[in-house]
Chains A and B, each alone.
Chain A
Amino acid sequence: MNRTRPVNATRTSPPLAEAGAVPARRGLRLGRFRDLTLVPVIIVLLVAGSFVDPIFLTPGNLTNVLQQQSALALVVLAEALILIAGKFDLSLESTVGMAPAVGVMLVIPTAAGGFGLELPAVLAIPLCLLIGGLVGAFNGFLIMRFQLSAFIVTLAMMIVVHGLQLGLTQGKSLFELPESFLYLGSATWLGIPAAIWITGAFFAAGIIALGYFRAGRALYAIGGNADAARAAGIRVERVVWAVFVIGGVIAALAGVLETGRLGGISANQGVGWIFMAFAAAVIGGVSMDGGKGTILGALTGVLVIGLVENILTLKGVPGEWKQLVYGSIILVALMISRLAGGKAQD
């Protein structure tokens, strides 16, 4: 008879010193700055921009950049929350158009393109946010309860939601907006556009919630390892569902800001944004696999995109070439953040 005997079972080895060795602290110190790897890119863009056009570095222009990007930034925030929780939402861009369109149609008269319900105008924004939340809730229902793939569900929902807007508006733009929309689009508080304040406040709330609150940390736990999160008592389904709802509401708010800024809702509002949103989130260090990245990082991603767009406009790059330059610069930004961050992108 022979016995299975693990190696060195015959001799009790003393606990080796190496078992107690504390790993080097260098790596984690760097890790703390991982979400700021785009800062050098931003600095390069600021310097390059100032050479392109003297107007670039003026407060007026930079404020302009921020205002133009505030709606996209909110979509990036929503997408970042969902990505960190390990899911995916492509339908956000359609919500950006549909939620304000339907919200507005509920309050404006038939003559202006409304449903004829003519609900009180003050309800326009709350209704719009509610609609965004409902879209998110439906996504969450299909993904968490029905156990469908988030990619396919939200791809379909992107088409459905946009189709809903096209159908209801008959493809027309809406120009008669409630006062509240126009106010948010044009008001300045303390010399800075309201949209920037609102977006800034949401990002601040996101940074604090994800950095310092259990509910926010739960997103990282779920995205990192859902089974482990469940074992730790986190109600995974409920939290992810809530994230989809919050994402929908934030996307609807982005739609409100964009509508106010442009003074109307075109049939194409939000179309194509989702790719920018993904690009911004991912170059900002948010992982497509979930569990990694920060809201601050996502914000730096938006800033890079906004600055690039602004420089291209100032430089007078013809519209036909913008997309090419745009895409290339995102690739370069990715490579720089990869080199600065050191870790393989995922």
Chain B
Amino acid sequence: MKSKEKASAAGGVPAVEARDIVKRFGPTTALNGAGITIAEGETHALVGRNGAGKSTLVSILTGLQRPDEGEVRFAGEPAPPLADRDAWRRRVACVYQKSTIIPSLTVAENLFLNRQTERGAIRWRELRTRARDLLEQYGVAVDAEAMAGDLGVERRQLLEIARALSFGARFIILDEPTAQLDGPAIQRLFERMRALREQGVTMMFISHHLEEVYEICQSVSVFRDARHIVTAPVGELPHQRLVDAMTGEATAAYAYRSRTVPASAPVVLAARGLTLAGRYEGVDLEVRAGEVVGLAGSGSSGKVGLAETLVGLRRADSGTVSVGGAAVRPGDIPAALEAGLGFVPQDRHREGFVPLLSIAENATMPIARRLGRYGAVSPARRREHGARMIAELDIKTTGPDQPVGDLSGGNAQKVVLARALADDPKALVVINPTAGVDVKAKHALLGAVEDAAGRGAGAVLVSDELDDLRICDRVLVMFHGRIVRDVPRGWTDTELVAAMEGIENR
């Protein structure tokens, strides 16, 4: 609707400009003379590996941190002083990676946090009405009186976007908004972003998923090692060159290995008639030794719930799970581990690792009993095992004693996988292993899963990424809680997506 304006501004003053920014935190330089220029009305991607300086740039562009050197300009004017939060919020809105929704407050109050009223007592009825108007304006169908904590990730994010924009900013930063969303939710987010662009909103989009960059952005800036590397329209920077710019070297694409699983290979993980009300029903599944089986489907397909049942994180209403031929008591994680199962949970921060404990201790948690006698754990043997895992999975660290909480996302995920592999499992269940990790770590993680299969383990890989699923010998597609298709290797994207959306099955 404001496309004329957009066109006229295209050659004019950039909406946002950060020049020669230097920011140091103690001995580390987070940004070293980096900058970014975003034209009015465009959706601009910022990509880079973990630690490239993206988050620091976000906090500088949103006025949460002061750069040591360099300047930030909005529409040609210098940025307001740091203390003037309102002035910042009128210029730039941000949906942070970490949710800034307060779960114990209502949706309405979250929208008007710290501005519930100009002065005097808060009039709740009026506040709710304002909240409803705001939600309606941005097309967010959420009850203003609901507790924000009761909302799902997607709705919370929409809430953040609506709140961010309600300050009147015409520039919005989206810091990894897709990391926690499933396929359809990402598409809904993109549609919303396109609509905002139509209205002339300028956006900066951060994501590890390069395909998303090509889908939604017009131009892209690459950061690497605290520096700005390149900025170009997305059309002029094909995928491989983008990856090369991020890694600083020519990175080979992931080479998928081919395997043949003999029909005589024993079944290492099996499910019979598994049903969990509201999640999945009547699921039968068999994974043979040396086989990698993918589980695909939309967020509501029940794939994660099924995988969590296989490892004992959930208990099915009926049906059995057996590992290595023996039935495992439902919902009993120690029994599942005992039977020879290893798993990588969906949310590594919650179930994957203990941040304050060392890499060695995290990685050896399930096998602590083998590291000493009578309940004692030998620190030397633990370190030794940790060091071996670090070498095997190429974990970037100062050593096995470093706490996992200090590692980047990709390296922390490797520790979680190391824990899953610690006992040389017969069966491996891996849920979204590559969420929020960069290209190189992704390759290492997928490689480690294939290595495990090479050693004779059977693996179940649940993923929202088609690319991850390519390592699978076959992909089971789930739709509304049922396995609807068994797709052998060699599928095309369209084929698999169609199956996940339930197009040919209903």
Contacts and interface: CB of A to CB of B under 8 A. Distances in A.
Given A19-B154, A21-B141, A5 B211 contact: yes
B254 A2 contact: yes
Given A231-B100, A233-B114, A5 B143 contact: no
Nearest to B96: A231
Nearest to B109: A217
A30 B70 CA distance: 53
A214 B122 contact: yes
B141 A20 contact: yes
Interface stretch (A7-15, A240-248, A317-325): A7-15
A25 interface: yes
Per DSSP, chain A at the interface is: loop
Nearest to A224: B102
Interface string B96-112: 10111111111001000
Given A19-B141, A23-B151, A232-B113, A2 B467 contact: yes
B504 interface: no
Nearest to A290: B104
A4 B116 contact: no
A100 to B, nearest CB: 33
Contacts of B240: 1
Given A23-B142, A212-B121, A11 B466 contact: no
Contacts of B239: 1, 3
Given A229-B114, A231-B96, A7 B141 contact: no
Nearest to B106: A28
Interface stretch (B32-40, B184-192, B285-293, B370-378): B184-192
B420 to A, nearest CB: 23
Nearest to A220: B105
B465 A225 contact: no
B328 to A, nearest CB: 28
A31 B105 CA distance: 11
A98 interface: no
B500 A6 contact: no
B112 to A, nearest CB: 9
B281 interface: no
B493 A224 contact: no
Among all A-B residue pairs, the 6 with the closest Cβ atoms: A7-B183, A20-B141, A224-B102, A228-B100, A233-B85, A232-B113
A326 B470 CA distance: 64
A316 interface: no
Interface residues of A, number: 47
A97 to B, nearest CB: 34
A217 B150 contact: no
Contact of B466 (A5, A16, A19, A20): A5
A16 B115 CA distance: 33
Contacts of B187: 8, 12-13
B320 interface: no
B209 A221 contact: no
B253 interface: yes
B145 interface: yes
Contacts of B219: none
Contact of A6 (B101, B191, B464, B494): B464
Contacts of A213: 121-122
A228 B117 contact: no
A224 B184 CA distance: 30
Contact of B465 (A4, A10, A232): A4
B493 A232 contact: no
A8 B497 contact: yes
B114 A15 contact: no
Given A1-B253, A20-B141, A212-B121, A221 B465 contact: no
B239 to A, nearest CB: 6
Which of A213, A228, A291 lies at the interface centre, i.e. has the most chain B CB atoms within 10 A of its CB? A228
A223 B102 CA distance: 9
A196 B142 CA distance: 43
Contacts of A232: 100, 113-115
Which of A4, A10, A23, A233 lies at the interface centre, i.e. has the most chain B CB atoms within 10 A of its CB? A4
A161 B436 CA distance: 50
A214 B119 CA distance: 8
A314 interface: no
Contacts of A223: 104
B501 A11 contact: yes
A16 B501 contact: no
Given A11-B497, A13-B501, A16-B188, A6 B212 contact: yes
B295 to A, nearest CB: 12
A225 B100 contact: yes
Contacts of B249: none
10 contacts: A4-B210, A7-B298, A8-B183, A13-B501, A31-B147, A214-B115, A217-B116, A224-B104, A225-B101, A292-B104
B105 A4 contact: no
A35 B428 CA distance: 46
Interface in B188-230: 188, 191, 209-212, 215
Contacts of B178: 6
A123 interface: no
Contact of B184 (A10, A16, A22, A220): A16
B104 to A, nearest CB: 4
Interface string B254-281: 1010000000000000000000000000
B182 interface: yes
A4 B114 contact: no
Which of B86, B122, B466 lies at the interface centre, i.e. has the most chain A CB atoms within 10 A of its CB? B466
Interface string A143-171: 00000000000000000000000000000
B211 A229 contact: no
Interface in A246-301: 287, 291-292
B356 interface: no
A10 B494 contact: yes
B146 interface: yes
A221 B105 contact: yes
Given A3-B211, A5-B493, A11-B497, 6 more contacts: A6-B464, A7-B182, A13-B183, A214-B122, A224-B103, A232-B115
B102 A291 contact: yes
Interface in B453-484: 464-467, 470
Contact of A217 (B122, B183, B466): B122
A16 B155 CA distance: 13
Contacts of B150: 23, 27-28
B211 A9 contact: yes
Interface in B149-188: 150-151, 154, 178, 182-188
A15 B191 contact: yes
B186 A6 contact: yes
A11 B187 CA distance: 9
